[in-house]
């Protein structure tokens, strides 16, 4: 098997995540799709690390994980706050600034 297949899998998962961000209305599901995209990028980084025979790709994936953890904490806090003020987690309902 060609290890390029891992890259194809990463591309597929990234596509699914991106489509989810565009298609879904629930803010939490949108956020989960962002996590899926980050994970797909991590898989690509790990595969590149193996292809090139050094560990820098894995270090990058490690940093992506750390930043994703920080992002999840702040993002979920924002979702909880929006839910408290408008009683809805739908991204369509937060349209106060729309003309």
Partner 1 sequence: MSTLTTLAAETSTSTGEAVQFWILAPLAVLGGLGTLLLRRAVHSALCLAGTMVLLALFYLANGAYFLGVVQIVVYTGAVMMLFLFVLMLVGVSAADSFKETLAGQRWLAAACGLGLGLLLIAGIGQASTGSFTGLAEANGGGNVEGLASLLFTRYVVAFEVTGVLLTIAALGATLLTHRERVERNKTQREQAEERVRSGVQLPPLPAPGVYARHNGVDIPGLLPDGTPSELTVNPTLRGRGQVREVHGQALADLAALEQRTSAYQGRPSPAGPAPRGTALGGAAAPGDGAVSTDAEEARK
Residues in 37-56 that interact with partner 1 by CB under 8 A: 39, 42-43, 46-47, 49-56
- Beta carbon nearer to partner 1, 4 or 97: 4
76 binds partner 1 (CB under 8 A): yes
Least distance in angstroms from the C-beta of 34 to partner 1: 11
- Between CA 51 and CA 96 the distance in angstroms is 49
Least distance in angstroms from the C-beta of 96 to partner 1: 14
- Beta carbon nearer to partner 1, 62 or 97: 62
Whether residue 79 contacts residue 45, with contact meaning beta carbons closer than 8 Å, is answered with no
86 binds partner 1 (CB under 8 A): no
**Whole-angstrom distance between the N-terminal and C-terminal Cα of the chain?**
54
The 10 Å Cβ neighbour count of residue 54 is 11
Which tokens go with 27?
């803010």
């Amino acid at each position: 098997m060609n290890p390029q297949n891992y890259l194809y899998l990463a591309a597929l998962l990234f596509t699914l995540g991106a489509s989810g961000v565009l298609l879904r209305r629930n803010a939490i599901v949108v956020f989960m799709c962002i996590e899926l995209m980050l994970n797909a990028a991590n898989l690509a980084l790990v595969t590149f690390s193996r292809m090139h025979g050094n560990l820098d790709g894995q270090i990058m994936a490690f940093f992506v994980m750390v930043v994703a953890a920080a992002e999840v904490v702040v993002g979920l806090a924002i979702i909880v706050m929006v839910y408290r003020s408008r009683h809805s987690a739908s991204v369509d309902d937060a349209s106060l600034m729309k003309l």
